[in-house]
Amino acid sequence: MNPLFEIVRKEIDDSHFYFVDGEYYPGVTSILDEAAPVPWALKQYFINGTPDSIASKSETTLAFGSKMHDAYEKLLNGVSLNLRDDYRSTKEKKHIASMVAWARTFRPEVIQTECTVASKELKYAGTLDLLCKINNELWIIDFKTSAGIYSSYHWQVEAYRKAVKETFGLDVAHCLIVRTGTTHKVGYEAKESEASFADFKRIYDTYLSLHGGKIPDPPSVIAYPDTIAIEEKL
C-alpha cells in the first residue's frame, strides 16, 4: 500500500528513527517507554536487579523478540522455516508453533507485515507487526513474546489505529495483541485492545511535557563503520 505521505525509517545499529516528510517523529514505543506508567512487576525487577544484570537481560530479551518477529513475518509472507537448523532451542520452537496455531485459527489475509505508519496530527510514528483482514474486517495484530499482556500494549495498538487512518485513510475495526509461547491450551493468548486513543493521548501529553511541550530533537547516536581493522587498507 502507498502511504499518503513519505515515511522513512532509518536503522542505525540496534536503533531506528522515523522521519515523516523529512521531519523527525518519535516512535510509539519510545513515547511509551519514557512516559507510560511502569508495571509493578517491572518496577520490582528494576529495584532488585543490578545495572549489569538488567542490561544483560534486556539485550537477551530484545534479541529473542526480534528473532521471533522476523520468523513470524517470514511465515506470514509464505516462507517455510527450518526449525531443525535455524531455530534450535525448545523456546524458539514453542513460540513459533504457537504463532502458527494462531494463524491457522484466525486465518488472516495479509495486507502488509512490518507496516510503518505515522500521525501527522500528533507527530509520532511506529511499525506495527501485521495489518490484515479477518472475516473481511481490517485488523491490527501485534505479536508479543513477553510474560504477560501489559497496559502499554493496549495503548500502543490504539496509537497505531489512529496512525493507520492518517497514513492510509483506512478504518481499523479490531486491534489484537497476540502473546505467543504461553501455557494456554492453544499455546497463545489473544486479547483485543481494552484501551482507547484517549488513553494513549494522555501519555503522549506527558511525553511532551517532559520535553518542554514539544517534540525533542532526534537522539544522538554513534554510527560505527561496517568494517574495521587495526591496519587500514589503502
| Residue pLDDT, tens place only, 177-201 | 999 999 999 999 999 999 999 999 9
Is residue 122 in some structural domain?
A: yes
Which three cell numbers, joined as nine digits, stand for 14? 540496534
Is residue 87 in some structural domain?
A: yes
Instruction: Look at residue 46 and tell me whether its pLDDT is greater than 60.
Output: no
Residue type, 50: T
Is residue 230 in some structural domain?
A: no
Nearest alpha-carbon partner for 179 in 215, 129, 220, 217: 129
Is residue 219 in some structural domain?
A: no
- Listed in sequence order, the residues at least 6 apart from 208 whose beta carbon sits closer than 8 Å to its beta carbon are 214, 215
Residue 52: its H or E element = helix 51-76
The CATH number of residue 111's host domain is 3.90.320
- Listed in sequence order, the residues at least 6 apart from 154 whose beta carbon sits closer than 8 Å to its beta carbon are 175, 177, 193, 194, 195, 199
**In which band, very low, low, confident or very high, does the pLDDT at 128 lie, cut at 50, 70 and 90?**
very high
Count structural domains, the chain.
1
Is residue 147 in some structural domain?
A: yes
Is residue 103 in some structural domain?
A: yes
Is residue 221 in some structural domain?
A: no
Rounded to the nearest 5°, which phi and psi values hold at 57? -65, -40
Output the pTM of the full model: 0.89
Is-contact 96 188, C-beta < 8 A? no
Is residue 233 in some structural domain?
A: no
- Structural domain range at position 168: 7-210
Given this model, what pLDDT does residue 12 score?
A: 77
